[in-house]
Structure 1
Amino acid sequence: MLDVMAVAEVLLGQADFSSEQKATFALLAGAHDLGKISLSFRSMLRHGQRQHFSHWELTEAWLFPELPRLADRLNGSWRPLKHLISAVAGHHGRPSGRSEEVYQRYRDQWPDEEGRLDAVTLFDAFLTLFPDASLAGLREADAKRRSWWLAGLVTAADWVASNPDWFPPLEPSLDLPAYLHRARGLAAIAVREAGLQPVPVKDGWLFPFPAEQMRAMQREASSIALRDGPMLAFIEDETGAGKTEAGLILAQRMLLSEKAKGLFFALPTMATADAMFARARGMMGRLFDCPSLTLAHGRAALSRDFRALVGRESGDEDDVTCAPWLADSRHRALLGDIGIGTIDQALLSILPSRFSTLRHWGLSSKILIVDEAHELGDPYMAEQLARLLEMHAMAGGSAILMSATLPINLRQRFAEAFERGTGREAGVDRDMAYPSLSIAGGEARRSYPAVSGKGDVAVCRLEAMADAVDVLADGAAKGAACVWVRNAVDDAIAAVEALRERGVEAKLLHARFALHDRKRIEAEVLARWGRGGQERGGVLVATQIVESSLDLDFDLMVSDLAPMAALIQRIGRLWRHMDLRPATGRPLAGPVLHLLSPDPDFATDERWLQRVLDRGAWTYPLTDQWRTADKLVRRGRISIPADLRALVEAVDGNDIAEVPAALQKAEEERFGQIYAERSRALNNVIAIAEGYATARVGSSREYPTRLGEETRTLLLARREAGGLRPWAPLSGNDEVAEREAWMLSEVSVRCRWLARFALPDQAAADVVVLKQGWPEWRREDVLVCPVEADGRISDGLRYEVDRGLTGSSPQTRG
């Protein structure tokens, strides 16, 4: 307990609290395990007897009757103290949820007067170690809000102090003050070696290009006035305009103004997080002095860039490392100086998930940078982000949101949530100017000239799939880099087959490839059509994963009709790198979006879109797609960046066009879905004002970060003489290489799509052998799929390296 107390003191040194409050929090952190001084805990250790109450519940049970006396010793009220004690007691990832009445019955039925008196006596002794500890002026409402942060602090301190390498056992020869003095010396070392000690921020130039070449948004970010206290900034500009660099320029200024100690980049997908990690690894050493950098998502272990950092010795001040302690658990990934991961990792801090408070505590000292913020525009995720911003601001954190297509009503909602967390009144900002750099409640920069290198993009509607094939075949014949973005995987596969029948070289990329094959194809795509690509001819057919995951540049684009925000993201991959490939060097006269879409004037029934797009017609809300087609087809041209704000507002704003009568039912269903998703989000997110003691804890299935169709993980395998082997090749001969190969052999599939097929027998002898030793959840959730030499998995289900997972059910085979 004294070890935890000492670690908490070091961690509290970074917090913006009074010395009296820091002393109080450190004192309470040390009391987290008082319940271990009990007969029941000793009996559990010695004889394996079952405990009726956990030791951390006994901490509450014994201290609650002492609240008035202890609060008086701390110059405060017992009501705030009760919430703080519940926070430190609930350091195992969830609060007890027990009432005082339940504790009273426990004390009556299983009395342990000796243990209780020893615990209370020890707490009194702890009080003498912190004579400055005080609750003076702390209101119950404030204690409830701080209880979330305190629970996370105690968890972090407990995990560090429980490491025997840093705190080796000691014979009980020291009294409490002497032992605490020793523990304080060890704690400073432990916190540093764990990667939790903040490092200095540098004020030098961050980027490989000279400052004189800054783009417009980047120049504005370098001079806009920062707001006092926590602040929320919005960076809104077209794709490829340098928003990431602008965000880092602004973040560096905020760090130097002591608004935070570190950064967390929240990305929409694992692929975008991996891409950001690759970019940031070479840059963060110019922002911090020897910082720790972590990758936070479910497949971080597959990142060789990340693994190379773990445990790496720092050679000079520009080096980036990652302490093994941080990399050892996904729960700790948000605790380093710089975290890069999916937005889900941050959203888990405001959902009833275990150790959500640890994530909240880790984020609270960082600038939260949310890239592609429009990706959180659906009702469910938008409510979560609003609660996250409120809680982050409440803990003193600052944030930057970046987007090319953020609707104004979302910008306003996020600003209101953040300002509510600070206790300030949010103003109304509905300025339509674009690009825009604005600080909630502060300055806005919107009057500067912003010129896009690509100029206007023409919009040409295509009536049928055959027309799209003709356009791509013609473009490929001229040597153009071509892309067709499809809404559905099966439609993408059909498009590649149609192009190949025409003799057109076409590469396929979608989400139904095993991870190994997807990574391989993505690398090939980047090498050909990325920023440094040289041999650029040919056609890529891809699904939505190219919208934000990959930095690609095409001369010609065909796209299935999609909502406006998605199309704008796709257009961002058209004539993208104009600094490297100016108009004069491209094989086509100008950028054109060839839009595969029915005529919006002839929406006579709900099958209006399906007649043209087939399966991809159901990917997005029908009415959003009609409004997009109606706007773009009538305009025939997009001026970038000038038109982008108005186009987004036409579909996602408050003043949207009426849909045709034939689509009215779909509109009503969409409104009902929005209401249901928003209601579910509001029910799921934590109630900040009620305090940590009332928090629920459930599974990710009960409280997901995203809504969507249920998916199933397929594990592809090859049959060999020694049994099933992973589909992906092994990178070595050790256990780590084999584990990595199995992870790279997974593919996630929608359950509804999978339901059409007979699936491999999981009771087959070789499958049973492979699953031996798996945890129960994995045996149930993961479907092992041996792939035969000809690609067959089961009747109708196949896997091929150039097509991915495909299927033809008896119904579709006729």
Structure 2
Amino acid sequence: MTEDWMSGIDMWLWGKSRDLESTYPLVCHCLDTGAFAEVLWDRLLSPGVRGWLCGQLKVDEAVGRSYVAFVAALHDTGKVTEAFVRKDADAFAKLSGYPVVAGNDQNHAFAVHTFLAEALRDLWGLTAGSDAECVRLAQLLGGHHGGYSPLDGRAMGAPGKYAPWLGWGKWDQQRRLLVAALHELFGSPTPTGSLTKEGAVFITAIVILADWLASQVTYIAARIGSVPAQAGRGVLAAHLEAARHDAPGFVEAAQLGGATVDAGSFAEEFPFDPNDLQASIAQNLPGLLRGAGILLVTAPTGEGKSEASWHAARLMGEASGRRGFFLGLPTMATADQAYQRVEEYLNRHLTSRSALTLLHSMAWLSKAYDPATEPGRVDGVSSRDWVRALEWLRGHKRGMLANWALGTVDQALLAVVKVRHNVLRMLGLANKTVIIDEVHAYDAYMQGLLLRLLHWLGATGTPVILLSATVSGRMANRLIAAYLEGAGQVNGRDRQPVTYPGWAYACAVTGEVHPFQVASRHRRLAITRHEVPLVNGVPERLGVLTGELAPLLDAGGTGAVICTTVAEAQETFQSVRDWVQGSGARVDVWLLHSRFRVEDREEHTRKILARLGKEGRGPDGKRAATILISTALIEQSLDIDLDLLVTDLAPMALLLQRAGRLWRHVAEQLKTPLVRPAWASERLAVMVPTGKKGELRLPKRWIYDEALMIRTLDALTDVVDVPGDVQSLIDTVYDAAFLAGAELTEADLAHLAGESLRRGKARQAAIPTPADMRDLSELSAGLDEERLGTRWGAESGRIVCLYRNDGRLWLDEHATIPVPDRKLPPPSVTDNECLPREGVRAVVAKSVPVPSTWISGVTNQAPASWAKDPHLRSITAIVCDTPSRGAPTIVRLGDRSFELTKERGLQER
């Protein structure tokens, strides 16, 4: 090539045009993307990830940086095709000398997938038998839209023969010129010869992210006026240097980059002295750290596992070169509650601004997370501003890239489900320490996904912390083994990590497991069992409840009743309230379940926390007499304290979890003493549904596994020593019979079959392990995001009631909140701009979760514009008659009729 061969690059080959005053040359966009990749390498990737990725490439950091930037710059070279350039008629008309291509209908990502292997092979002087790295890079860049294509050896080996739709002659010449120019301008990196599949996953994520940043209209619009009319080595090098100058500011504005926290002891991190569990971890964990590893903490509820994990995350992050953490929780409610606690923790210890994101489908509704909410203040510093996540990180699929993130565990599991852009989630997780809370709370399907995630985290050197109050020894062993096997420790299945209460650390470098047992608050939990006969298939609870709750009517105190289904909770609420009112006692009876309007459930939750939370008492230390009727929501979601708990029979782990709400707030945790009524003791009353002969009979509507219920009932004793008896009870129910060769009942066989089915479905939904993956397309093979999920049988929907008044539709029966609507926008306007944010928020606040079967076939009466909004398109609107004052709204779903009230939620008539 001549000295000025880069001048042959055609500047009319464009890369971006949407919302711009003119087209932006493709070579400029490619250079911009490479420049952003360099900045991401320097600022986003933690030292541990950089080191790990260089280990996958077997190069030093300077070479790795150049290599990744070059690969990122190549991402859109597939746009040098007639099909793409024709999308802008004016730019296409200015081309000359290009042959007409017939049947050119492939997208540009598949074009780079198809042609690049041959172009790189020729550029690097490789033979057809030694071009595996070129093929992997081509497939990698073909996945920069979030999903990979299967390899086509014939087309990738000889695209001129088998992929004529690419276009040849000048089309091929320009593609090769572009590849060669980018290669030289990014330092002429050479093949590494060792690009692994997991390394390719991370590079794909960097490419996607760099492309997104370089494609921002605000970035391009500021540069488009200085685009050179003619290419050449000098002008392209100058453009690249300008991009390198500008890109850091945009990366900083996106809040991607390092965060620093104060180093210190546990006592310096938290405003209280550590308990035995926390002190043991703080004193012993540092000496065990050799790099990455996994920490399992097993202790009863209320033992400070959260604070222990945040301290451990800092220690483990420092040892493995990671920064920040992701905290995965079982429900949106637990995530919302944890957000403010984590926010306060970070405000005490961050030494630079850093974003904290809240990740679940309804996070944008959280007032604590709302960027428009007025910040509070902590020690004179604007607490919200210090960790506030700005607009870019709140965008779709970006939140996991923040240094600090928390949300439902589903957000982490999506990294190993065959969904688009799963590689971005994987990078986001690997860049930090991953904390998974309540690991016992997930069924066989979610456990299967979690095991696959742990394998990948072990393979990528990512530190992990698992927390549980009631995990079985068998499950704990599988979790630790999955991580160690991913890290290359093949003997991981021989480990026995559970010490209860206590913790165990498994080192990814050595494979050694170090268990520690600790002291814990001792409790003697009394268990009372009541047989509750089924009447028309429903447990007749009132007789038991009036006996158990009678002391509250006379002497006050707080109690709760946990029912298995929403319908049973609603019916029980009505009967208990009628009984209380008939007695004349001054006792509040409240109801909580999942089938309220979102805003009503939030209001009820705030009221419950104010009464039953840590501050819920008067100056005399007493609390107003209260009975809470609920579903299993309160076993994890709410930090409440009860004097008495009456619950339906449930599997052992859930019973023990529920018992953790009894006498939860001990004196040393409270600013002022809590005075309990004289009748109260640490006692759990369990209602056992029975048939006519007193045998266990589970209602058809109950979702719990019969085998586990039978085994729980058999194992349940009159007194449970906490923590002494907890692990043996859990293992007896969840491990022993299946491992000891006992004769299996029909219920046991059904349980095993159900577990096997769920594990099999998890394997189908999950991506392969790195060792089992043949090529990158298996990360997105059979991609069907509508059907793949992170929870078994979690199909649900939402309804919202609309009220007609004066010819208009309203969101409330008083006709004060109009139904938001807008004419459909032009194609250039993105989906989330269809409706005003506050209008969307108002709709979701009025929505009610329902089983998807309830709305199957029901006509959606929502305005057409809702279908274009990502938050509203899944909501079914029902036009209802405006009720008279004080009357319920009548909601008809097919042939079923319901009443909707603020007090009881949605209840079938």
- Structures share a fold, TM > 0.5? yes
Q: Which stretch shifts more, 593-602 or 346-355?
A: 593-602
Q: Deviation string for 1:647-695 (max 9, x for gaps)?
A: 111111244599999x932322221111111111111111233342333
2:867 is aligned, of 737, 750, 774, to 774
Superposed, 1:400-415 pairs within 5 Å as: 400-415=465-480
Q: Could you tell me which residue of structure 1 aligns to residue 85 of structure 2? A: 42
Choose which of 371, 374, 387 in structure 1 pairs with 2:452: 387
Change (3 A) 1:474 1:703: same
- In the aligned structure 2, how far is the partner of 1:571 from the partner of 1:328? 37
Secondary structure of 1:196 counterpart = coil
CA distance in 1, matches of 2:166, 2:467: 57
Query: Which region of structure 1 is more displaced relative to structure 2, 537-546 or 475-484?
Result: 475-484
Letter in 1 for 2:40: L
The offset of 1:209, in angstroms, is 8.8
Q: Choose from 585, 607, 611 the match for 1:524.
A: 607
* Partner of residue 114, structure 1: 170
1:451 aligns with 2:521: yes
Q: Within 2, Cα distance between the matches of 1:485 and 1:798? A: 22
Q: 1:641 to 1:363 in 2, by over 3 A?
A: same
Is the 1:296–1:339 contact (alpha carbons within 8 Å) kept by the matching residues of 2?
Answer: yes
Structure 1 residue 731: deviation in Å?
A: 12
The 8 Å contact of residues 476 and 482 in structure 1, kept in 2 or not, is answered as no
1:86 to 120, 139, 143: 139
Q: Is the 8 A contact 1:74 1:135 kept in 2?
A: no
Matched, 1:558 2:646: yes
- State the 1:335 CA deviation: 0.7
| Cα shift readout 1:369-402 (whole Å, capped 9, x = no counterpart) | 11111122x1111110111111122222111111
Structure 1 stretch displaced more, 525-534 or 415-424: 415-424
Provide the rounded CA distance (Å) in 2 between the counterparts of 1:346 and 1:150. Answer: 19
How far did 1:727 drift? 4.2
SS in 2 for 1:557: strand
- Distance in 1 (CA, whole Å) between partners of 2:258 and 2:372 is 18
Structure 1 unaligned residues grouped into runs of 5+: 809-814
Separation in structure 2 between the aligned mates of residue 681 and residue 749 of structure 1, nearest angstrom: 25
The alpha-carbon deviation at position 332 of structure 1 amounts to: 0.3
Match in the other structure for 1:236: 298
Mapping 1:284-299, distance limit 5 Å: 284-288=346-350, 289-299=352-362
Measure how far apart 1:256 and its partner are: 3.0
Residues 1:217 and 2:302 are matched in the alignment = no
Match of 2:21 in 1: none
State the match for 1:25 in structure 2: 68
Distance 2:818 2:517 in 1: 53
Code of the aligned partner of 1:519? E
Match of 1:193 in 2: 253
> What is the alpha-carbon distance in structure 1 between the residues aligned to residue 311 and residue 437 of structure 2?
15
Q: Structure 1 residues 298 and 731 mapped into 2: Cα distance closer, same or farther (>3 Å)? A: farther
Residue 434 and residue 42 in structure 1: after superposition, are their counterparts in 2 closer, same or farther (change >3 A)? same
Query: 2:632 matched to which residue of 1?
Result: 544
Distance across 1 between alignment mates of 2:254 and 2:129: 35
Change (3 A) 1:476 1:501: same
Change (3 A) 1:207 1:407: same
1:462 alignment counterpart: 530
Deviation at 1:110, TM superposition (A): 5.5
Alignment of 1:186-585 (within 5 A): 186-204=246-264, 213-223=273-283, 224=285, 225-288=287-350, 289-308=352-371, 320-376=386-442, 378-427=443-492, 428-430=494-496, 432-440=498-506, 441-442=511-512, 444-452=514-522, 455-464=523-532, 465=541, 466-503=543-580, 505-534=588-617, 535-579=623-667, 580=670, 585=676
Q: 2:41 aligns with which of 12, 25, 34?
A: 12
Alpha-carbon distance in structure 1 between the residues aligned to 2:818 and 2:468: 38
| Aligned mates of 1:132, 1:61 — CA distance in 2 | 22
Closer, same or farther in 2 for the Cα pair 1:660/1:111, shift >3 Å? closer
Pick one of 761, 783, 787 that aligns with 1:680. Answer: 761
With over 3 angstroms needed to count, the CA separation of the structure-2 counterparts of 1:658 and 1:603, relative to structure 1, is farther
SS in 1 for 2:800: strand
| Structure 1 residue 271, shift from structure 2 partner | 0.8
Q: What amino acid is aligned across from residue 307 of structure 1 in structure 2?
A: D
Q: Is the 8 A contact 2:529 2:685 kept in 1?
A: yes
Distance 1:236 1:785 in 2: 46
SS in 1 for 2:397: helix
- Mapped to 2, the partners of 1:601 and 1:418 lie a distance apart of 49
Amino acid at match of 1:191: V
SS in 1 for 2:520: coil
**What's the offset of the Cα at 1:253?**
1.4
Residues 109 and 803 (structure 1), Cα distance of their counterparts in 2 relative to 1, 3 Å cut: closer
- Provide the residue aligned with 1:737 in structure 2: 838
Q: Indicate the larger mover: 169-178 or 23-32.
A: 169-178
Q: State the one-letter code of the partner of 2:333.
A: A
Residue 31 of structure 2 corresponds to 2
SS of residue paired to 2:745: helix
| Cα distance in structure 2, aligned partners of 1:78 and 1:317 | 55
Tell me how far 1:526 sits from its aligned partner.
Answer: 0.6
Distance verdict in 2 for CA 1:150–1:761, change over 3 Å: closer
- The answer to whether the 8 A contact 2:639-2:661 is kept is yes
Where 1:462 maps in the other structure, the secondary structure is strand
When structure 1 is superposed on structure 2, of 253-262 and 27-36 the one drifting more is 253-262
The residue aligned with 1:811 is none
Q: 1:238 to 1:133 in 2, by over 3 A?
A: same
Query: Partner residue of 2:684?
Result: 593
Quote the residue 2:203 is aligned against: 150
Matched-pair contact (CA < 8 Å) for 1:194–1:323? no
Give the one of 790, 802, 812 matched to 1:717: 802
TM-score, normalization: structure 2?
0.80
Deviation (angstroms), 1:744: 1.0
Partner Cα distance (1:210, 1:234) in 2:
21
- Distance in 2 between the 1:74 and 1:177 partners? 31
Partners of 1:259 and 1:600 in 2: CA distance: 59
Match of 2:7 in 1: none
1:74/1:178 Cα in 2 relative to 1: closer, same or farther (>3 Å)? farther
Matched, 1:784 2:877: yes
The 1:642–1:494 alpha-carbon spacing in structure 2 relative to 1, beyond 3 Å, is same
Q: Which range is displaced more, 40-49 or 407-416?
A: 40-49
* Cα 1:444–1:387 shift into 2, 3 Å: same
Report the Cα offset of residue 311 of structure 1.
12
Given candidates 693, 698, 707, the residue that maps to 1:623 is 707
Does the C-alpha gap of structure 1 residues 176 and 761 become closer, same or farther in structure 2, counting only changes over 3 Å?
closer
Is the Cα contact below 8 Å between 1:67 and 1:81 reproduced in 2?
yes
Where does structure 2 lack aligned partners over 5 or more consecutive residues? 1-29, 55-59, 93-101, 533-540, 582-587, 618-622, 821-834
Q: Give the SS at the match of 1:283.
A: helix
What's the CA shift string for 1:391-421, capped at 9, x where partnerless? 1222221111111011122211121221222
What is the alpha-carbon distance in structure 2 between the residues aligned to residue 560 and residue 799 of structure 1? 25
**In structure 2, distance between residues paired with 1:420 and 1:70:** 38
Q: How far apart in 2 are the matches of 1:601 and 1:456?
A: 33
- Cα–Cα, structure 1 residues 370 and 41, in superposed 2: closer, same or farther, change >3 Å? same
> What secondary structure does 2:371 align onto?
helix
**1: distance between equivalents of 2:746 and 2:714?**
18
RMSD after superposition:
3.3
**TM-score normalised over the length of structure 1:** 0.89
Return the offset for 1:786.
3.5
Q: Which amino acid aligns with 1:36?
A: K
Structure 1 match to 2:212: 159
Question: Does 1:671 find its partner at 2:786?
Answer: no
Partner in structure 2 of residue 812 of structure 1:
none
